[in-house]
Amino acid sequence: MNQGKKLYNNWIFKLVILNGLVFFLQNFLDDRSYLTLYLGLTPAFVLEKGFIWQFFSYMFLHGDFFHIFLNMYALLLFGIPVAQVWGEKKFLFYYFFTGLGAGITIFVINTFFVKSGYYIPTIGASGAVFGLLLAFGLLFPETELLLFFILPIKAKYLIFLYGGIEFYSLITSGGSTHISHVGHLGGLFFGFLFFLINHNKKENLAKTLPFNLKKNKKKKNLRVVSTSKKRTSLLDLYKKIKTESLEALSDDEFQELNYYKIMYEDEDDFFCPEELGLKKEKCLGCSSLEKCLLKDLD
Protein backbone atom coordinates (compact mmCIF):
# COMPACT_ATOMS: atom_id res chain seq x y z
CA MET A 1 0.00 0.00 0.00
CA ASN A 2 1.30 3.41 -0.93
CA GLN A 3 1.13 5.36 2.36
CA GLY A 4 1.60 8.72 0.63
CA LYS A 5 -1.35 8.01 -1.64
CA LYS A 6 -3.38 6.83 1.36
CA LEU A 7 -2.64 10.06 3.24
CA TYR A 8 -3.65 12.40 0.43
CA ASN A 9 -6.63 10.36 -0.78
CA ASN A 10 -8.86 11.27 2.14
CA TRP A 11 -11.70 13.64 2.92
CA ILE A 12 -9.56 16.30 4.57
CA PHE A 13 -7.70 17.01 1.35
CA LYS A 14 -10.94 16.69 -0.62
CA LEU A 15 -12.45 19.39 1.60
CA VAL A 16 -9.43 21.63 0.99
CA ILE A 17 -9.72 21.12 -2.78
CA LEU A 18 -13.47 21.75 -2.73
CA ASN A 19 -13.05 24.96 -0.75
CA GLY A 20 -10.34 26.03 -3.18
CA LEU A 21 -12.57 25.41 -6.21
CA VAL A 22 -15.43 27.39 -4.71
CA PHE A 23 -13.02 30.22 -3.86
CA PHE A 24 -11.87 30.24 -7.49
CA LEU A 25 -15.48 30.47 -8.70
CA GLN A 26 -16.17 33.29 -6.26
CA ASN A 27 -13.24 35.43 -7.29
CA PHE A 28 -12.78 34.73 -10.99
CA LEU A 29 -16.13 33.62 -12.43
CA ASP A 30 -18.71 35.28 -10.19
CA ASP A 31 -18.25 39.00 -10.74
CA ARG A 32 -21.72 39.83 -9.35
CA SER A 33 -21.30 37.78 -6.15
CA TYR A 34 -24.28 35.54 -6.85
CA LEU A 35 -22.58 32.68 -5.02
CA THR A 36 -22.33 34.74 -1.85
CA LEU A 37 -25.98 35.83 -2.12
CA TYR A 38 -27.35 32.33 -2.67
CA LEU A 39 -24.88 30.24 -0.66
CA GLY A 40 -23.78 32.57 2.13
CA LEU A 41 -25.76 32.37 5.38
CA THR A 42 -28.21 35.30 5.38
CA PRO A 43 -31.00 35.09 7.99
CA ALA A 44 -33.37 37.18 5.85
CA PHE A 45 -33.11 34.74 2.93
CA VAL A 46 -33.52 31.71 5.20
CA LEU A 47 -36.70 33.05 6.83
CA GLU A 48 -38.28 34.89 3.92
CA LYS A 49 -37.21 32.74 0.93
CA GLY A 50 -36.59 29.35 2.53
CA PHE A 51 -32.88 29.12 1.62
CA ILE A 52 -32.24 26.51 4.32
CA TRP A 53 -29.26 25.05 2.41
CA GLN A 54 -27.31 28.13 3.47
CA PHE A 55 -26.74 26.54 6.91
CA PHE A 56 -24.49 24.06 5.06
CA SER A 57 -23.25 25.92 1.98
CA TYR A 58 -21.84 28.97 3.82
CA MET A 59 -18.93 26.82 5.06
CA PHE A 60 -17.44 26.52 1.56
CA LEU A 61 -17.23 30.24 0.74
CA HIS A 62 -14.45 32.64 1.80
CA GLY A 63 -13.89 36.36 1.55
CA ASP A 64 -10.24 36.63 0.46
CA PHE A 65 -7.05 34.61 0.13
CA PHE A 66 -5.94 35.26 3.71
CA HIS A 67 -9.32 34.01 4.96
CA ILE A 68 -9.23 30.72 3.06
CA PHE A 69 -5.51 30.19 3.69
CA LEU A 70 -5.88 30.35 7.48
CA ASN A 71 -8.95 28.12 7.50
CA MET A 72 -7.44 25.48 5.21
CA TYR A 73 -4.14 25.54 7.09
CA ALA A 74 -6.02 24.95 10.36
CA LEU A 75 -8.12 22.22 8.70
CA LEU A 76 -4.96 20.34 7.74
CA LEU A 77 -3.16 21.05 11.02
CA PHE A 78 -5.98 19.90 13.31
CA GLY A 79 -7.99 17.70 10.97
CA ILE A 80 -5.34 15.14 10.01
CA PRO A 81 -4.49 13.96 13.54
CA VAL A 82 -8.15 14.04 14.63
CA ALA A 83 -9.14 11.90 11.61
CA GLN A 84 -6.30 9.49 12.38
CA VAL A 85 -7.75 8.92 15.83
CA TRP A 86 -11.44 8.84 14.89
CA GLY A 87 -11.47 7.65 11.29
CA GLU A 88 -12.87 9.68 8.40
CA LYS A 89 -16.57 8.98 8.97
CA LYS A 90 -16.58 10.27 12.53
CA PHE A 91 -14.33 13.16 11.54
CA LEU A 92 -16.71 14.24 8.75
CA PHE A 93 -19.74 13.99 11.03
CA TYR A 94 -18.00 16.11 13.65
CA TYR A 95 -16.77 18.67 11.10
CA PHE A 96 -20.24 19.26 9.67
CA PHE A 97 -21.92 19.01 13.09
CA THR A 98 -19.81 21.89 14.39
CA GLY A 99 -20.11 23.80 11.11
CA LEU A 100 -23.90 23.49 11.09
CA GLY A 101 -23.97 24.30 14.81
CA ALA A 102 -21.97 27.45 14.17
CA GLY A 103 -24.43 28.34 11.40
CA ILE A 104 -27.40 27.91 13.73
CA THR A 105 -25.67 30.11 16.30
CA ILE A 106 -24.99 32.79 13.69
CA PHE A 107 -28.61 32.64 12.49
CA VAL A 108 -30.09 33.00 15.97
CA ILE A 109 -27.79 35.82 17.11
CA ASN A 110 -27.96 37.79 13.85
CA THR A 111 -31.74 37.42 13.66
CA PHE A 112 -32.68 38.41 17.21
CA PHE A 113 -29.74 40.35 18.66
CA VAL A 114 -27.78 42.07 15.86
CA LYS A 115 -30.05 44.29 13.81
CA SER A 116 -27.76 44.71 10.80
CA GLY A 117 -26.82 41.02 10.81
CA TYR A 118 -30.26 39.99 9.55
CA TYR A 119 -29.43 41.12 6.01
CA ILE A 120 -25.67 40.42 5.90
CA PRO A 121 -24.33 37.06 4.62
CA THR A 122 -21.81 35.11 6.70
CA ILE A 123 -19.28 32.89 4.91
CA GLY A 124 -16.33 30.72 5.86
CA ALA A 125 -15.37 27.40 7.46
CA SER A 126 -14.15 29.08 10.64
CA GLY A 127 -16.93 27.66 12.84
CA ALA A 128 -16.06 24.08 11.88
CA VAL A 129 -12.35 24.87 12.19
CA PHE A 130 -12.83 26.14 15.75
CA GLY A 131 -14.67 22.90 16.43
CA LEU A 132 -11.60 21.03 15.18
CA LEU A 133 -9.38 23.15 17.43
CA LEU A 134 -11.45 21.97 20.39
CA ALA A 135 -11.25 18.32 19.33
CA PHE A 136 -7.49 18.54 18.81
CA GLY A 137 -7.00 20.20 22.19
CA LEU A 138 -9.01 17.48 23.95
CA LEU A 139 -7.42 14.57 22.10
CA PHE A 140 -3.84 15.92 22.16
CA PRO A 141 -3.80 18.26 25.19
CA GLU A 142 -0.04 18.20 25.75
CA THR A 143 0.95 18.85 22.13
CA GLU A 144 2.77 22.16 21.70
CA LEU A 145 1.73 24.52 18.91
CA LEU A 146 3.20 27.81 17.78
CA LEU A 147 0.86 30.69 18.55
CA PHE A 148 1.09 33.19 15.66
CA PHE A 149 3.86 30.89 14.33
CA ILE A 150 6.16 32.15 17.12
CA LEU A 151 5.09 31.42 20.72
CA PRO A 152 4.90 27.77 21.89
CA ILE A 153 1.70 26.88 23.73
CA LYS A 154 0.07 23.59 24.66
CA ALA A 155 -3.10 22.69 22.76
CA LYS A 156 -5.21 22.46 25.93
CA TYR A 157 -4.44 26.09 26.77
CA LEU A 158 -4.95 27.27 23.20
CA ILE A 159 -8.65 26.33 23.43
CA PHE A 160 -9.20 28.66 26.39
CA LEU A 161 -7.04 31.42 24.88
CA TYR A 162 -8.88 31.53 21.56
CA GLY A 163 -12.25 31.07 23.27
CA GLY A 164 -11.50 34.00 25.57
CA ILE A 165 -10.32 36.20 22.70
CA GLU A 166 -13.45 35.45 20.67
CA PHE A 167 -15.77 36.10 23.61
CA TYR A 168 -14.02 39.38 24.46
CA SER A 169 -14.10 40.46 20.80
CA LEU A 170 -17.80 39.66 20.56
CA ILE A 171 -18.66 41.68 23.67
CA THR A 172 -16.55 44.70 22.75
CA SER A 173 -17.72 44.81 19.14
CA GLY A 174 -21.37 44.13 19.90
CA GLY A 175 -21.47 41.80 16.91
CA SER A 176 -20.88 44.67 14.47
CA THR A 177 -17.72 43.40 12.78
CA HIS A 178 -16.75 41.64 9.55
CA ILE A 179 -15.36 38.72 11.63
CA SER A 180 -18.00 36.27 12.85
CA HIS A 181 -16.97 35.84 16.48
CA VAL A 182 -20.42 34.36 17.06
CA GLY A 183 -19.68 31.61 14.53
CA HIS A 184 -16.32 30.84 16.12
CA LEU A 185 -17.87 30.52 19.56
CA GLY A 186 -20.72 28.48 18.08
CA GLY A 187 -18.22 26.00 16.64
CA LEU A 188 -16.52 25.67 20.03
CA PHE A 189 -19.86 25.26 21.82
CA PHE A 190 -21.20 22.56 19.49
CA GLY A 191 -17.83 20.79 19.57
CA PHE A 192 -18.01 20.60 23.35
CA LEU A 193 -21.65 19.50 23.05
CA PHE A 194 -20.51 16.66 20.79
CA PHE A 195 -18.08 15.43 23.44
CA LEU A 196 -20.73 15.72 26.15
CA ILE A 197 -23.20 13.70 24.06
CA ASN A 198 -20.59 10.99 23.55
CA HIS A 199 -19.89 11.09 27.27
CA ASN A 200 -23.57 10.50 27.95
CA LYS A 201 -23.30 7.46 25.68
CA LYS A 202 -20.74 6.13 28.16
CA GLU A 203 -17.71 7.08 26.12
CA ASN A 204 -14.91 8.26 28.38
CA LEU A 205 -14.80 12.01 27.95
CA ALA A 206 -12.63 12.15 31.07
CA LYS A 207 -9.70 10.48 29.34
CA THR A 208 -9.61 13.22 26.66
CA LEU A 209 -10.12 16.35 28.75
CA PRO A 210 -7.00 18.20 29.95
CA PHE A 211 -8.52 18.77 33.39
CA ASN A 212 -9.95 16.49 36.08
CA LEU A 213 -13.61 15.52 35.93
CA LYS A 214 -13.43 12.76 38.51
CA LYS A 215 -11.42 11.82 41.55
CA ASN A 216 -7.83 10.77 40.97
CA LYS A 217 -8.50 7.16 41.91
CA LYS A 218 -11.24 6.77 39.34
CA LYS A 219 -9.20 8.60 36.74
CA LYS A 220 -6.34 6.16 37.27
CA ASN A 221 -8.68 3.22 36.68
CA LEU A 222 -9.94 4.80 33.47
CA ARG A 223 -6.38 5.13 32.23
CA VAL A 224 -5.67 1.46 32.86
CA VAL A 225 -8.78 0.41 30.95
CA SER A 226 -7.92 2.77 28.11
CA THR A 227 -4.34 1.44 27.84
CA SER A 228 -5.58 -2.15 27.84
CA LYS A 229 -8.03 -1.45 25.01
CA LYS A 230 -5.33 0.29 22.95
CA ARG A 231 -2.93 -2.61 23.45
CA THR A 232 -5.55 -5.16 22.37
CA SER A 233 -6.43 -3.10 19.29
CA LEU A 234 -2.80 -2.69 18.27
CA LEU A 235 -2.20 -6.41 18.73
CA ASP A 236 -5.13 -7.15 16.42
CA LEU A 237 -3.71 -4.82 13.77
CA TYR A 238 -0.25 -6.37 14.15
CA LYS A 239 -1.56 -9.92 13.74
CA LYS A 240 -3.65 -8.95 10.69
CA ILE A 241 -0.64 -7.37 8.98
CA LYS A 242 1.59 -10.34 9.78
CA THR A 243 -0.92 -13.02 8.73
CA GLU A 244 -2.25 -11.17 5.70
CA SER A 245 -0.58 -7.92 4.61
CA LEU A 246 -0.59 -4.15 5.14
CA GLU A 247 -2.91 -3.83 2.15
CA ALA A 248 -5.51 -5.91 4.02
CA LEU A 249 -6.17 -3.06 6.45
CA SER A 250 -9.33 -1.03 5.97
CA ASP A 251 -9.16 2.77 5.75
CA ASP A 252 -10.10 3.15 9.42
CA GLU A 253 -7.57 0.50 10.49
CA PHE A 254 -4.84 2.21 8.49
CA GLN A 255 -5.66 5.54 10.13
CA GLU A 256 -5.62 3.85 13.53
CA LEU A 257 -2.17 2.41 12.81
CA ASN A 258 -0.94 5.92 11.96
CA TYR A 259 -2.38 7.12 15.26
CA TYR A 260 -0.29 4.58 17.19
CA LYS A 261 2.83 5.58 15.27
CA ILE A 262 2.28 9.22 16.24
CA MET A 263 1.55 8.32 19.86
CA TYR A 264 4.77 6.35 20.33
CA GLU A 265 7.19 8.06 17.94
CA ASP A 266 8.66 10.31 20.64
CA GLU A 267 9.31 7.55 23.17
CA ASP A 268 12.91 6.62 23.93
CA ASP A 269 14.37 3.75 21.94
CA PHE A 270 14.89 0.54 23.86
CA PHE A 271 16.79 -2.68 23.46
CA CYS A 272 14.98 -5.98 23.93
CA PRO A 273 17.10 -9.12 24.34
CA GLU A 274 14.13 -11.32 23.42
CA GLU A 275 12.82 -11.97 19.95
CA LEU A 276 9.26 -10.79 19.59
CA GLY A 277 7.00 -13.63 20.66
CA LEU A 278 3.40 -12.76 21.36
CA LYS A 279 2.77 -16.08 23.12
CA LYS A 280 5.30 -15.28 25.80
CA GLU A 281 3.91 -13.81 29.00
CA LYS A 282 7.07 -11.73 29.24
CA CYS A 283 6.25 -10.00 25.95
CA LEU A 284 2.53 -9.56 26.58
CA GLY A 285 3.21 -8.02 29.97
CA CYS A 286 6.05 -5.77 28.82
CA SER A 287 5.48 -2.03 29.19
CA SER A 288 7.26 -1.44 25.86
CA LEU A 289 5.15 -3.89 23.85
CA GLU A 290 3.52 -1.18 21.72
CA LYS A 291 6.86 0.31 20.75
CA CYS A 292 8.19 -3.15 19.99
CA LEU A 293 5.23 -4.05 17.77
CA LEU A 294 5.53 -0.84 15.76
CA LYS A 295 9.29 -1.27 15.41
CA ASP A 296 8.80 -4.80 14.09
CA LEU A 297 6.36 -3.50 11.47
CA ASP A 298 8.84 -0.92 10.10
pLDDT higher for 279 or 1? 279
Confidence (pLDDT) at 133:
92
pLDDT of residue 71: 93
Q: What is the mean pLDDT of residues 175-182?
A: 73
Which pLDDT does position 47 carry in this prediction? 94
Whether residue 198 sits in one domain with residue 162: yes
CA 67 to the chain's CA centroid: 19
Amino acid at 238: Y
Tell me the average pLDDT across 167-180: 72
44 plus 116 within the same structural domain: yes
- Of residues 37 and 155, the one with the higher pLDDT is 37
Confidence of residue 272 (pLDDT cuts 50, 70, 90): low
- Choice among 122-126, 156-160, 235-239 with the minimum mean pLDDT: 235-239
Q: In this predicted structure, what is the pLDDT of residue 211?
A: 42
Average pLDDT estimate for 143-150: 75
Structure-model confidence comparison of residues 285 and 72, the more confident one = 72
Residue 284 has pLDDT above 50, yes or no: yes
For residues 185 and 277, state if they share a domain.
no
Highest mean pLDDT among 32-41, 85-94, 114-123, 237-246: 85-94
Please state the pTM of the whole predicted model: 0.65
Backbone angles phi, psi at 13, to 5 degrees: -70, -30
Are residues 153 and 233 located together in one domain of the fold?
A: no
| Pair 134, 265 in one domain | no
Residues 125 and 257 in one domain: no
- Quick one: pLDDT at residue 48? 92
- Picking from 169, 190, 207, the residue at the C-terminal end of a domain is 207
| Statement to judge: residues 101 and 172 lie in one domain | yes
Say if residue 183 is in the same domain as residue 78: yes
Least confident span in 16-30, 43-57, 246-260? 246-260
pLDDT at 201 over 70: no
What pLDDT, in 10s, does the model give residues 74-114? Answer: 999 899 999 988 988 999 999 999 999 999 999 999 898 87
Boundary-marking domain end, from 207, 241, 274: 207
- pLDDT tens-digit series, residues 2-27: 444 455 557 899 999 999 999 999 98
- Among 2-6, 181-185, 273-277, which stretch is predicted with the lowest mean pLDDT? 2-6
The C-alpha atoms of residue 126 and residue 98 are separated, in whole angstroms, by: 10
Same domain, 87 and 21: yes
Asked if 192 and 129 sit in the same domain, the reply is yes
Q: State what percent of residues in the chain have pLDDT above 70.
A: 69
Residue 241 has pLDDT above 90, yes or no: no
pLDDT interval class at 227 (50, 70, 90) = very low
- How confident is the prediction for the chain on average, in pLDDT? 77
Q: Which of 207, 226, 260 is the last residue of a domain?
A: 207
Clarify whether residues 200 and 237 are in a common domain: no
Residue 147, SS3? strand
**At 188, which CATH number?**
1.20.1540.10
DSSP-derived letter for residue 42 is -
In this structure, the answer to whether residues 165 and 233 fall within a common structural domain is: no
214-220: long-range contacts at Cβ-Cβ below 8 A with a sequence spacing of 24 or more? none
Q: What is the DSSP string of 90-131?
A: HHHHHHHHHHHHHHHHHHHHHHHT-TGGGSS-B--SHHHHHH
C-alpha 109, offset from chain centre: 25
In which band, very low, low, confident or very high, does the pLDDT at 225 lie, cut at 50, 70 and 90? very low
What residue numbers bound the domain in which 288 lies? 216-297
The number of folded domains in the chain is 2
